[in-house]
Amino acid sequence: GIDCQGGSSMCCRQEFFVDFREIGWHDWIIQPEGYAMNFCTGQCPLHVAGMPGIAASFHTAVLNLLKANTAAGTTEGGSCCVPTARRPLSLLYYDRDSNIVKTDIPDMVVEACGCS
Amino acid sequence: TLKASGPCPACWGATLDLESQRELLLDLAKRRILDKLHLNERPTLSQPVSRTVLKTALQRLHGSPQGATLKDDQEQEYEIISFAETGFSSINNTRLDFHFSDKTTGGMEIQQARLMFFVQLPPNTTQTINVRVLVLRPYDTNLTLTTQHLLEVDASGWHQVLLGPEAQAASSWGHLTLELVPESQEAQSSVILGGVAHRPFVAAQVRAGGKHRVRRR
C-alpha cells in the first residue's frame, strides 16, 4: 500500500491520529497517548482492482491490463479502496470501578490500503 | 459493505469541509473504541488511582505472563488490575473487597486471578497467612467461605496467591471478598500493609465471550 501525499487521487492510506488529551479521554486511558486510526481514501480504477495498492510485478501488471481491457465498457465500479492490513491497539485504561484494564483490540489500526 | 457493482459506499461526500470531516472521524474513533470495550459511554472515575499505586502494581506484575495476547480466533483478552477496598479490618483480620464492573466482565470468563499483597514482618520471623475466599452467591445475602489458601511468609515484601475457581467465579459475578488472617499475631499492628504504595490488588486474566462457550461436565 501507499501513503497519501498531496495531489494524488489514487487509493492510499491517510494518517489520522486521535490525541486522547485533545478529546478529554486522557484521564481514563492511561496508555497510549492517542489512537493512530488512519483510513483509506482515493479512487480505484478498474485496472488496479483486486490489487493491494500498486502492481507488484510484471505478471500482475499484464493481468491487470488484460482485466482493464476486458472490462472496458462494462459496468463501472465494484472496486473500493479498503484496508488490506491492520494491527491491534493495546490499551491500558481505568474502568468505572477504577480497576486498571489492559487489552489488545484487534484490527484497530489501518496499516495499508488497497483496491478490493 | 461492498456491493458487487456500483460506486463504493462512503461516509461522507465532497460536500463536507475539513473540520466537519475531522469531527466525524473523531466521533467514529470514539464510538469504535467504546464498542470494542463493550462500553456505552466513557467511564467516569469515582475513585481515581494515584500514579504511585499504578506504578507499584505494574512493577509487581513485571515479568509475569502477559495475559493480553491475541489468539488465532481473535478473541479479545483483558488483564484487569483491581485495587482492594478495605473494610471490617482489624489487627488480626484484613478484609479486602474487589469490584468488577458488569460492563467489563459481562459475558466474559475470568481465567486466572492472583492476589498480591504486602507483608511487613520483624526480622528473622515467619508468619503463616490464611487467605480466605468469601463469596456472595446469587440470591444470597451472606458471605460464604469457599476456600482457604495457607501461605508461609518468611520475609517482608510483596507476596502473591493464585486464587482458585471459586474466586474466579465470584469475580465474574462482579464482587470478590477476601480475608487475610495471620495465624499467629504477636505484633501490635497489622502485618498486612494497605497504604498508598502497598495497596493490595488482584490481577485477573479475562477472556471475552465466556458465557457463550459450551462446558462439558
pLDDT greater than 80 at residue B59: no
* Per-residue pLDDT band at A24 (split at 50, 70, 90): very high
* CB-based contact B104 A106, cutoff 8 Å: no
Distance of alpha carbon A109 from alpha carbon B208, whole angstroms? 20
B5 CB within 8 Å of a chain A CB:
yes
Interface-testing mutation among A15, A33, A103, A108, with chain B (most B C-beta atoms within 10 A): A103
Give the β-pairing of B192-193 and B108-119: antiparallel
One-letter identity of residue B150: L
Nearest to B80 among A27, A77, A101 (CB): A101
Q: Exposed, middle or buried by CB within 10 Å (0-12, 13-18, 19+), for A6?
A: exposed
Q: What mean pLDDT do residues B14-32 have?
A: 84
pLDDT greater than 90 at residue B87: no
Q: Which of residues 46-75 of B touch A (CB under 8 A)?
A: 46-49, 54, 57, 67-70, 74
Q: Exposed, middle or buried by CB within 10 Å (0-12, 13-18, 19+), for B140?
A: exposed
Q: Which pLDDT value is given to residue B67?
A: 44
Q: Which pLDDT value is given to residue A74?
A: 42
Q: What mean pLDDT do residues B45-73 have?
A: 63
Q: Which pLDDT value is given to residue B168?
A: 87
pLDDT greater than 50 at residue A19: yes
Task: Tell me how far CA of residue A101 lies from CA of A12, A38, A108, B56, B143, in angstroms.
Answer: 34, 24, 17, 15, 27
Three-state DSSP class for residue B105? helix
Q: What are the residues whose beta carbons fall under 8 Å from the beta carbon of B155, sequence distance 6 or more?
A: B121
Distance of alpha carbon B176 from alpha carbon A13, whole angstroms? 46
* CB-based contact A77 B101, cutoff 8 Å: no
Give, for B51, the enclosing helix (H) or strand (E).
helix B51-61
Q: List, as one string, the DSSP characters of A40-59.
A: EESB--GGGTTSSSS--SHH
Name the more confident of B90 and B200: B200
Nearest 10 degrees: Cα torsion B137, B141, B145, B151: 90
Interface-testing mutation among A18, A81, A97, A115, with chain B (most B C-beta atoms within 10 A): A97
pLDDT of B147-188, one tens digit each?
999 999 888 889 999 998 988 888 888 889 999 998 876 656
Q: Which pLDDT value is given to residue B175?
A: 86
Interface-testing mutation among A11, A14, A76, A95, with chain B (most B C-beta atoms within 10 A): A95
Distance of alpha carbon A82 from alpha carbon B72, whole angstroms? 23
Cβ neighbours of B181 (radius 10 Å): 17
pLDDT greater than 90 at residue B191: no
Q: What mean pLDDT do residues B89-117 have?
A: 78
The answer to which of A31-45, A102-116, B195-209 has the lowest mean pLDDT is B195-209
Q: Which pLDDT value is given to residue A72?
A: 46
* Per-residue pLDDT band at B78 (split at 50, 70, 90): confident
B24 CB within 8 Å of a chain A CB:
no
Angle at B212 between CA A96 and CA B78, to 5 degrees: 40
A68 CB within 8 Å of a chain B CB:
no
* CB-based contact B2 A77, cutoff 8 Å: no
Three-state DSSP class for residue A66? helix
Q: What mean pLDDT do residues B201-216 have?
A: 69
Cis peptide, bond prior to residue B200, ω within 30 of zero:
no
pLDDT of A53-74, one tens digit each?
554 455 555 555 555 555 544 4
B171 CB within 8 Å of a chain A CB:
no
Residue from A14, A1, A15, A8 nearest A51 by CA: A1
pLDDT of B131-157, one tens digit each?
999 887 777 778 888 899 999 988 888
